[in-house]
């Protein structure tokens, strides 16, 4: 059951993001245009969620999810990199409890992927801040290699 769930959460969505074989000769930059708003939004949403999972791993949080009110998520997210200090808890990856089930499943899939990738980072490969982490995951989504 777990293997099937991982297939649906990670493998199948990644197949949907691959360019069409007819476009294989064209550089990836030319296959993604501003008219592909849905694709760009999907990649950006995935990138932020993956970066959130990576940030949790970098803080020493275990790979578990805790559902809390949306206002708490906003407060934690806004504190990342702020002058007032990061107040994000390190006991779990936090998810808004009012998320629809399908969104929560996608959120957990992206955050888990980010968490796993962050485990492979070292001092030389770790992004300097949250924004660069988002940029790295976004680039990987729009231009998978």
Q: Averaged in consecutive runs of 10 residues, what is the pLDDT profile of the chain (145 residues)?
A: 42 43 40 64 91 89 92 80 68 91 93 93 84 90 81
Tokens of 136: 């790295």
Could you say which DSSP state residue 83 is in? T
Q: What is the pLDDT of residue 19?
A: 41
Give the largest Cα separation in the chain, rounded: 51
Per-residue pLDDT of 40-54, as tens digits, reads 888 999 999 999 899
């Amino acid at each position: 059951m777990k293997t099937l769930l991982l297939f649906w959460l990670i493998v199948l969505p990644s197949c949907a993001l691959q360019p069409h074989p007819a476009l294989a000769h064209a550089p990836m930059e030319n296959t993604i245009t501003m008219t592909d708003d849905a694709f760009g939004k999907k990649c950006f949403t995935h990138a932020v969620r993956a970066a959130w999972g990576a940030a949790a791993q970098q803080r020493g949080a275990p790979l578990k999810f805790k559902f809390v009110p949306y206002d708490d998520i906003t407060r934690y997210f806004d504190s990342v990199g702020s002058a007032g200090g990061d107040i994000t808890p390190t006991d779990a990856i936090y998810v808004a409890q009012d998320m629809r089930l399908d969104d929560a499943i996608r959120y957990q899939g992206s955050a888990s992927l980010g968490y796993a990738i962050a485990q492979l980072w070292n001092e030389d490969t770790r992004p300097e801040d949250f924004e660069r982490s988002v940029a790295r995951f976004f680039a990987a989504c729009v231009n998978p290699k």
